[in-house]
Amino acid sequence: MSRELRDEQELVPGYEGIAEFFDLFANNTDIPFYVRYAKKQGSPVLDIAAGSGRVAFPLAQEGFRVTALEKSPSMLTEMRRRLPRLPKDAADRVNIVEADMSDFSIGRKYRLIIIPGSFAHAMSTDKQLSTLKCVRKHLASDGLFILDLHVGALLPEDLKFEEPKATLPDGRTVIRSGVIHTDMVRQIMRVDLKYTVIHASEGYSEDKREIEVTSGAAVIFNREADLLIRMAGLAIEDQLGGFDGRPYTPECDRRILLLRSH
Ligand SMILES: C[S@@+](CC[C@H](N)C(=O)[O-])C[C@H]1O[C@@H](n2cnc3c(N)ncnc32)[C@H](O)[C@@H]1O
């Protein structure tokens, strides 16, 4: 897991084969935050890069009509597999759309647009701007766009980690470890993750499977984000430093922007 940081073109988001395990490692503190803003804004909600439905599904269960836009075939399959597990009325409120966040046209406007933990997968400045422009096009005149960013200047240069073991409903356990390499000059990160899935059933020997995936993410600095937002015809209404609602200060490593059409 110590290959070199490659060019941004080669670093595509790596979610194939791990969609079933991805949200086991999410801390979910953002879900009540998004529900709170959905209550203020109302339906419909557009969840961009929705993954396996981690945020979209609770929103639907709270009564909101949600479009869940996603590009990864593996994530889409997992989201479709999980959808029927929701109560029928909630499942009926979810519309899954297969599309690229930097180039989509749904033909309707949304009162709330969110992009939980995913904007940095738009690796180039062009892709970031086209993503923001697509959002702007789909935002209702009184709509709110919540852009959740990691502050580029505070990202770790290099990091090695192993997360606490997680357990699936069928008893399999999953360990996720990873290595992050950050190139602050080219403003790209390479994230190598290893999922170790262990299936231990009584009377049988342990079955252990390892899946390795690599993803790229952009390092986005604050003034760069501000400029992109302005260029896309959006304006910052407020900024927060965490999903607990604390105000954004320069010490915060998260910058959550509340944006409106300009
Ligand atoms: C970190 S995961 C977050 C998933 C979900 N938002 C959540 O919070 O659980 C990033 C997601 O972005 C999706 N993604 C990456 N690039 C995308 C693109 N160009 N268009 C749409 N989705 C994309 C990935 O497939 C993945 O599901």
Confidence of residue 1 (pLDDT cuts 50, 70, 90): very low
Q: For the residues 63-72, what does the mean pLDDT come to?
A: 97
Mutation test residue for ligand 1: of 35, 55, 70, 254, the one with most atoms within 8 Å of CB: 70
Confidence of residue 5 (pLDDT cuts 50, 70, 90): low
User: What is the value of pTM for the model shown?
Assistant: 0.95
Instruction: Specify the long-range contacts of residues 38-41, CB closer than 8 Å, at least 24 apart.
Output: 38/62, 38/64, 38/112, 40/144, 41/111, 41/112, 41/143, 41/144
Q: Whose CA is nearest to atom 12 of ligand 1?
A: 49
Q: Where are the domains of the chain?
A: 8-14+153-218, 19-152+221-261
Strands (E), the chain: 45-48, 66-70, 94-98, 110-114, 139-150, 158-162, 166-167, 173-183, 188-199, 207-218, 234-240, 254-261
Please report the pLDDT score of residue 9 as a whole number.
58
Please report the pLDDT score of residue 2 as a whole number.
41
CA-closest candidate to residue 67, choices 10, 34, 109: 109
Q: Report the percent of the chain where pLDDT is more than 90.
A: 88
Model pLDDT for residues 247-256, shown as the tens digit of each residue:
999 999 999 9
Among the residues of 70-221, which ranges form H helices?
Answer: 73-82, 88-92, 125-138
**C-alpha 43 – ligand 1 centre gap (Å):** 22
Model pLDDT for residues 208-245, shown as the tens digit of each residue:
999 999 999 999 999 999 999 999 999 999 999 999 99
Mutation test residue for ligand 1: of 96, 118, 147, 191, the one with most atoms within 8 Å of CB: 118
From the alpha carbon of 75, which atom of ligand 1 is closest?
Answer: 27
- Candidate CATH numbers 3.30.565.10, 3.30.450.40, 3.40.50.720, 3.40.50.150; the one for domain 19-152+221-261: 3.40.50.150
**C-alpha 208 – ligand 1 centre gap (Å):** 27
CA-closest candidate to residue 182, choices 126, 229, 221, 211: 221
CB atoms within 10 A of CB 185: 7
Model pLDDT for residues 117-171, shown as the tens digit of each residue:
999 999 999 999 999 999 999 999 999 999 999 999 999 989 999 999 999 988 8
Model pLDDT for residues 189-215, shown as the tens digit of each residue:
999 999 999 987 766 667 899 999 999
Give the integer Cα–Cα distance in Å for 43 and 64. Answer: 5
Confidence of residue 18 (pLDDT cuts 50, 70, 90): very high
From the alpha carbon of 23, which atom of ligand 1 is closest?
Answer: 9
Please report the pLDDT score of residue 206 as a whole number.
76
Q: In whole numbers, what is the pLDDT of the chain averaged over residues? A: 94
